[in-house]
Structure 1
């Protein structure tokens, strides 16, 4: 029995339909919502949950797992032979050290904190290293523990309100970098702890940029928690935009960029709700903000820029389940203009989702190969990529099945 009183989906003898009902209810999704996202009706979902209809094929099970963001496929199927982490990665080797640095509660300073300018330079180098590296979690995970400890010490040892606010801004951005590392790893509580500390430090800094970045990441955490949390995602995004909007006429590029990123996030959440008009309206507003930035500007945290808007258009179309529009937007987007390797890999995954929606599985797999080339540590932690690959390992086409299986082995989804 779970802490909220609902049955544990691991417990026997629960069958597929019962597990589906439990997991769907926990995500706050109605039968009609789930059925609509799958291309079925609420009555069909009820039939599966009640056992009146048989267990769906693997393709549908994987789509259900994607919608419900089921961490382990065995939670849904009940079979202990199909442990596949979808939206939770395997746990990076450096996770324990990062977690220890976050969890520490130092009340005394055992060493003199570096100057804020020095911390700022280290943080900038860390972001740059993340964007350059195909193994970005390894790079970031090696830098974070010392950076977190030094930034915390800088806040404690601040001399005066101004210095303390500056230190809080750097600490907030360090937690933002940490959230990128922690996301999709098997410690949801740690993710939320980091997100909340990022918000608190940003508020204490009174820095518009830091406040916007913290809100941008918190909104994503809420949105990725499922439909029951979409309202919280909207509240964080839109309230932060309301705070930033009066500043924009004279704002530096970095503040305008974070406002643009927040605007797109509101559209992303609308797309998850399948609110087509609202999603594209926010995308249009974000594009207008991007056009106010210099042509070569690329935000080191949000990736917001003119170059990213094509990738964002693909994401909106995919979340709206518009296959042909996704492919059209993918053809118009230029992945090579995305400077960040992990962000470029993420875009390739979104393109692959579009091709899969459009009934082009071979192109989808080829696109996932490109994602793997750009950043293996991105695709290995991405549930959408895993779903596509697993689905195609069951293909009736031998060549496609072999290609999918080879990619699944590289991703660590299947054993060699």
Structure 2
């Protein structure tokens, strides 16, 4: 329902200034000054997801067209008020150039994390200045555009901290400050989260003072694996997920690519969840991604899902590093490394020595019939 007077809708052209921060945590909105038709009106915008579009138009000083807005005269001031509702839209007309009147200077505003965390948000865009505190997880995810590299970070500014999912952007260093523009702000399971978009730009910036203390849930424990739930996905060179792949076939057809590919060119991605029984405390269920799985289990061309599950079940007690319920590292517990004299290790042939494996956490770009490169110490 539109929260505006019942007036006739109109289309107006002009220039935006003084775009305010978001207001009202329960029903967020923002305001701006709008130069049009020889006057300056106050615009009230009830679509918080367009806040960054208005900020960009203010920054570029471009002429914009506001369509389907409600204009209400303000009798006491001889001006008007423009209501931008959920039926309204904005588009850029042309570059403003020298026509801009600098009598209403734009006010720079960076959205603080504490402000985002307090708002009852609908999906929107934001600009943030944050310090990279921790790399939570890294891998590839299947999305609408195919299989894309994804890294989840804990980030913080001087007011709060939050999780940020970064897609396809490399060269981000833990401990450095960055300005992220046009990140998506959403809520998932009642928790505010951030994610980069196709329009996101990242700029390394000087330190913005001291970031808040971050309470990140990182656990290191020795655990037995008592349950395994896995999912295997096959991805074509065009980064599309393939269904009903027959491994014995020499080729496979990808419908989105409209191309036949050699089966050997297909990528196998493994993910899942493990039920863990720690030495002390309650059982834990944690997510595990492809890179960590391949660090402890050898995946061969003919390895089936059941083979991988049985290989996990055959693992000895493992030392787990868990961040926010995601396993970021697995290695064999040192207490399990000593075997009885004269006896060979009873480890399953599909299991690799985790302490002697060099793990590459970059996205896999190799074919199905070549598992990720791993180095093992030679035995005398």
Place the TM-score, normalised by the shorter chain, in its bin: under 0.3
Bigger proportion of residues as strand: 2
TM-score of the two chains, using structure 1 as the length reference: 0.21
Give the TM-score, by structure 2 length.
Answer: 0.22
